[in-house]
């Protein structure tokens, strides 16, 4: 007999004489009621065991965490909270679980504790919900771009470009680290390395993505990216997933429109397709908020926050306007910021970004036209000669969720910029070719997938929204 998913059993529109369910025991009460979960939904199905006719030995093995298979009738439940339950006629233990040692007890665990048990934490309601929402969001990402005719491009994970311009890189090598080949001047001889040159894990697929956009028109990437930044924050991972659309003939305004439309689409898709999970996560967030002092509590519930994003235009503000606002702000004047904003040209820290979004505008903000010298080399220089066509999207509770720009399409301007920054033209010859053969205005952005999942699930630490987080000093499993 084929087993049926718990989700489908709970959604059945009739009772059934015989069904089979398989899953893991969440709780076993009164030697009679099993709460069975198989991961297909947040909800458990109640399985009522005929304890008088079940051997004592078997009953003892129905412990939290055990894998079981039950066969029985799907009947209307007498108990509150569920429409159906299974009246068990046959029960098989598939995999025992030592309940005393099983880390996921039916009580509430701290997120810190669960992170240390990442391999089992997905057996809890919260992580089951987060990971299902994450999966639905990933599907929505593909669906959005595919519906619009974008081509999905897999840019390389190992890159030969040292100058992707987005952060510290992890080196990839097959050289023996205890016996490195040297050149005559004593430096490491990368000619003897696997690729015959120095290589790294990618920090962004953008440069390669641009070459494809300049042939296929509209492309997107969705893959892992790696940054060896030693910042142990709640918003940074060493390995994270990034979505990077790149579109030929789009200028910065088109780019902002695309990013806003895209984010709204995927958030809406999750709201419409993850109702149970989001409701649970809303409750979790509400409990967490109650621990905070009154003044710091959010005025909105999780679903209200998501709907707010769907229903309101993102506020578009130039960097220059933002600096004026920040300079005149109370936390700046009272020196509450760690970094005081004194003049135009300052790089914005996350405290400033969050002030703009959470306190000043109280809605998602798109900041654009940043000073050239705090942004990457490939961004289109404005006519003022000092700002570039960059945009960052800032979200409440998250800070930066998107970073993007219109790209510098003029060969001469780009080369001059690279020279000024000491970026090797020869190394990026293939990138510069896009500006030599049929260059055109084009734009794109990168959205950190985990930051999106953070926002949608209402979680606050990025380690809690990726299956196996990679952070400094942490790659156990």
Where do contacts with ligand ATP occur on this chain (CB under 6 A)? 166-167, 227, 229, 236-237, 240, 242, 400-403, 446-448, 450-451
CB nearer to ligand ATP: pick between 23 and 446: 446
User: Least distance from C-beta 462 to ligand ATP, angstroms?
Assistant: 6
CB nearer to ligand ATP: pick between 145 and 280: 145
CB nearer to ligand ATP: pick between 231 and 312: 231
Nearest to 452 by CA among 399, 391, 375: 399
Distance CA 66, CA 48 (A): 16
Q: 10 Å Cβ neighbour count for 336?
A: 12
- Residue 121 is encoded by which pair of tokens? 């934490």
User: Least distance from C-beta 238 to ligand ATP, angstroms?
Assistant: 7
User: Least distance from C-beta 311 to ligand ATP, angstroms?
Assistant: 23
CB nearer to ligand ATP: pick between 193 and 450: 450
CB nearer to ligand ATP: pick between 12 and 234: 234
CB nearer to ligand ATP: pick between 66 and 447: 447
CB nearer to ligand ATP: pick between 236 and 380: 236
CB nearer to ligand ATP: pick between 4 and 204: 204
3-state secondary structure the chain: CCCCCHHHHHCCCCCEEEEEEEEEEEEEECCCEEEEECCCCCCCEEEECCHHHCCHHHHHCCCCCCEEEEEEEEEECCCCCCCEEEEEEEEEEEECCCCCCCCCCCCCCCHHHHHCCHHHHCCCHHHHHHHHHHHHHHHHHHHHHHHCCCEECCCCCEECCCCCCCCCCCEECCCCCCCCCECCCCCECHHHCCCCCCEEECCCCHHHHHHHHHHHCEEEEEEEEECCCCCCCCCCCCEEEEEEEEEECCCHHHHHHHHHHHHHHHHHHHHHHCHHHHHHHHHHHHHHHHCCCHHHCCCCCHHHHHHHHHHCCCEEEEHHHHHHHHHCCHHHHCCCCCCCCCCCCCCCCHHHHHHHHHHHHCCCEEEEEEEHHHCCCCECECCCCCEEEEEEEEECCCEEEEEEEEECCCHHHHHHHHHHHCCCCCCCHHHHHHHHCCCCCEEEEEEEHHHHHHHHHCCCCHHHCCCCCCECCECCC
CB nearer to ligand ATP: pick between 45 and 367: 367
User: Least distance from C-beta 451 to ligand ATP, angstroms?
Assistant: 4
User: Least distance from C-beta 254 to ligand ATP, angstroms?
Assistant: 18
Q: β-strands 199-201, 84-95: how paired?
A: unpaired
User: Least distance from C-beta 60 to ligand ATP, angstroms?
Assistant: 46
User: Least distance from C-beta 404 to ligand ATP, angstroms?
Assistant: 7
Distance CA 137, CA 57 (A): 44
CB nearer to ligand ATP: pick between 21 and 270: 270
CB nearer to ligand ATP: pick between 229 and 254: 229
User: Least distance from C-beta 352 to ligand ATP, angstroms?
Assistant: 11
- Residue 320 is encoded by which pair of tokens? 């220059």
């Amino acid at each position: 007999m084929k087993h049926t998913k718990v989700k489908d059993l709970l959604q059945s529109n009739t009772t059934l004489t015989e069904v089979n369910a398989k899953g893991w025991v969440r709780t076993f009460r009164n030697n009679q009621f099993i709460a069975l979960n198989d991961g297909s939904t947040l909800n458990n199905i109640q399985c009522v065991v005929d304890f008088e006719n079940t051997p004592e030995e078997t009953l003892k093995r129905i412990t939290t965490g055990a894998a079981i298979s039950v066969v029985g009738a799907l009947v209307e439940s007498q108990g509150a909270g569920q429409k159906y339950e299974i009246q068990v006629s046959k029960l098989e233990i598939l995999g025992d679980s030592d309940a005393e040692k099983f880390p996921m007890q039916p009580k509430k665990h701290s997120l810190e504790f669960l992170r240390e048990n990442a391999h089992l934490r997905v057996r809890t309601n919260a992580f089951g919900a987060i990971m299902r929402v994450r999966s639905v969001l990933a599907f929505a990402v593909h669906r959005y771009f595919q519906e619009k005719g974008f081509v999905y491009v897999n840019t390389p994970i190992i890159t030969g470009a040292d100058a992707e311009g987005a952060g510290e890189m992890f080196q990839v090598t097959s050289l023996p680290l205890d016996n490195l080949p040297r050149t005559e001047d004593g430096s490491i001889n990368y000619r003897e390395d696997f690729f015959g040159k120095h290589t790294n894990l990618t920090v962004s697929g953008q440069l390669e993505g641009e070459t494809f956009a300049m042939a296929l028109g509209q492309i997107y990437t969705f893959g892992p990216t790696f940054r060896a930044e030693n910042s142990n924050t709640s918003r940074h991972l060493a390995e994270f997933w990034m979505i990077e659309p790149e579109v030929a003939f789009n200028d910065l305004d088109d780019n902002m429109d695309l990013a806003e439309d895209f984010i709204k689409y995927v958030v809406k898709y999750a709201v419409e397709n993850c109702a149970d999970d989001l409701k649970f996560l809303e409750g979790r967030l509400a409990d967490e908020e109650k621990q905070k002092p009154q003044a710091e509590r959010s005025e909105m519930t999780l679903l209200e926050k998501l709907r707010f994003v769907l229903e309101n235009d993102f506020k578009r503000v130039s960097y220059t306007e933002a600096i004026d606002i920040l300079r005149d702000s109370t936390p700046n004047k009272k020196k509450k910021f760690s970094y005081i904003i004194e003049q135009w040209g300052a790089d914005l820290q996350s405290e400033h970004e969050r002030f703009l979004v959470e306190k000043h505008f109280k809605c998602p903000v798109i900041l654009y036209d940043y000073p050239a010298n705090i942004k990457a080399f490939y961004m289109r220089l404005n006519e003022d000669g000092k700002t570039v066509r960059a945009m960052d999207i800032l979200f409440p509770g998250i800070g930066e969720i998107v970073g993007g720009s219109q790209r510098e399409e003029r060969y001469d301007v780009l080369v001059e910029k690279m020279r000024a920054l000491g970026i090797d033209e020869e190394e990026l010859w293939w990138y510069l070719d896009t500006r030599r053969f049929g260059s055109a205005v084009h734009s794109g952005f990168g959205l950190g997938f985990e930051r999106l999942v953070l926002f949608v699930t209402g979680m606050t630490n990025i380690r809690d929204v990726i299956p196996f987080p990679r952070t400094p000093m942490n790659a156990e499993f």
